[in-house]
Amino acid sequence: MQLAIFATTIKIRNKVITLTTIKDIQHVLEEQETEAWQKLIRVLTHEIMNSITPIASLTSTVENMLKGIRNTTTEHTGYETDGLPEIENALQTINKRSRGLLHFVDTYRSLTQIQKPNFTFIKVVTLFNSIKSLFEDELINSNIRLIIRIEPQQMEITAMSN
């Protein structure tokens, strides 16, 4: 358990009183740690995207340039085209891998966009009646009779709402 302890000394009518408070700060620390991880993920994904995006773009451009060279004859360009298929394959691999990394980083970046859940109180009887209505056809088809009894009727739970 992570605790914060605070003490204050006060003087009332010549009497010294020390007021001490103890507070559980585990939740606050966990929130700060989560925020720190989210910031780190944002910075890392930004830097990775900035590095990979030009690689993907440039390999695509060079691939198109090589196709243009390959389509013209050696006599017109003065270039030897014997090694072009290997170069094109290498560029395609680099392009494919860089685009795969861009997709991965973009997906990974979504981790930092997780919204905090919105909790609300829900009556247990309402929840169970909703579940019953969802499975009503299956219950009828399987010849199952479902009886719901909630004691006390006002019982509520905390749940996430949309």
Quote the pTM value: 0.46
pLDDT for 29 equals 86
- pLDDT tens for 5-60 read 888 998 888 899 998 888 888 888 888 888 888 888 888 888 888 988 899 889 88
Inter-residue contact 28 to 55 (CB < 8 Å)? no
Cα separation, 42 vs 89, in Å, equals 33
Extents of the domains making up the chain: 28-113, 118-161
Is residue 73 predicted with pLDDT exceeding 60?
no
